[in-house]
């Protein structure tokens, strides 16, 4: 199938999802790696089992546009969700932020540590309030357990991002990759506040994709 698809286009955009049952299979990225190997054309990841690079690129662009200090404090916070969701967005966000000029703090309940390869160098805490103190950006995202793979270990609403929690920050900008489960991941009075930059973040998904495509097309000339 990959070789056939490669005959239909010059560049392939591929989106795959974690099955959340077999950690080894998901983290080997078998579908994505097979298309890279056999399609015969460049492949862009539109999201995979372990990463969401175009989203993270858009997130970085958005932070660069809105930061008011040279090295902002950026907090990636777990938030509750009733369904098991992949770790891809959280993995990618941590990976990109650790390669950027930011102070990254990751906060989540016990049992929700991400794959260590993605978080090495970040500050990690189970105290969400302490993580929010003085933050410049709050990035909310749910993910299922990596250690107890694919499981929902908590739906504790105490981790929902609220106006009270945001009051601990340095007038932080709120971010989420969307779509979002309102009043579970984040309360309305946060996501609809002037400090919410989710629409800029969404718009920058276009910019991130255009930038990558432009560089790929130039390289093919």
Q: CB under 8 Å, gap of 24 or more: what pairs does 216-220 form? A: 216/11, 216/42, 216/44, 217/11, 220/10, 220/42
Quote the pLDDT of residue 127: 99
Quote the pLDDT of residue 65: 99
Helix, strand, coil share (%) of the chain residues, nearest 5:
40, 15, 45
Span 95-144, pLDDT tens digits: 999 999 999 999 999 999 999 999 999 999 999 999 999 999 999 999 99
Confidence of residue 169 (pLDDT cuts 50, 70, 90): very high
- Report the run of H or E that residue 13 belongs to, with start and end: strand 12-15
Residues above pLDDT 90, as percent of the chain:
100
Span 174-195, pLDDT tens digits: 999 999 999 999 999 999 999 9
Q: Region 57-77: what's the mean pLDDT?
A: 99
**DSSP code at position 114:** P
Quote the pLDDT of residue 161: 99
Span 82-102, pLDDT tens digits: 999 999 999 999 999 999 999
Quote the pLDDT of residue 20: 99
pTM above 0.85, yes or no: yes
SS3 132: helix
Are the beta carbons of 171 and 194 closer than 8 angstroms?
no
Q: Which domains does the chain have, with CATH numbers?
A: 1-49 (no CATH), 55-203 (3.40.50.1370)
Angle at 195 between CA 74 and CA 207, to 5 degrees: 70
Helix intervals (H) in the chain: 2-6, 23-28, 30-38, 53-66, 88-97, 116-119, 128-132, 163-166, 188-191, 198-220
């Amino acid at each position: 199938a990959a070789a056939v698809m490669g005959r239909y286009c010059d560049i392939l955009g591929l989106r795959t999802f974690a099955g959340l049952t077999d950690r080894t299979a998901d983290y080997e990225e078998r579908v994505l790696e097979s298309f890279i190997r056999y399609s015969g054309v460049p492949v862009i990841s539109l999201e995979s089992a372990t990463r969401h690079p175009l989203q993270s690129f858009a997130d970085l662009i958005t932070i660069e546009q809105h930061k008011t200090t040279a090295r902002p404090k950026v907090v990636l916070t777990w938030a509750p969700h009733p369904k098991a969701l992949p770790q891809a967005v959280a993995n990618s966000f941590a990976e990109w932020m650790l390669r950027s000029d930011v102070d990254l703090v990751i906060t989540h309940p016990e049992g929700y540590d991400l794959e260590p390869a993605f978080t090495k160098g970040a500050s990690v805490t189970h105290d969400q309030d302490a993580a929010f103190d003085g933050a410049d950006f709050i990035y909310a995202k749910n993910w299922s357990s990596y250690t107890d793979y694919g499981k929902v270990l908590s739906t504790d609403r105490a981790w929902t991002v609220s106006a009270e929690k945001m009051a601990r920050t340095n007038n932080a900008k709120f971010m989420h990759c969307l779509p979002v489960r309102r009043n579970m991941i984040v309360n309305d009075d946060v996501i609809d506040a002037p400090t919410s930059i989710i629409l800029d973040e969404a718009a920058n998904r276009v910019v991130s994709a255009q930038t990558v495509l432009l560089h790929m097309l130039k390289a093919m000339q």
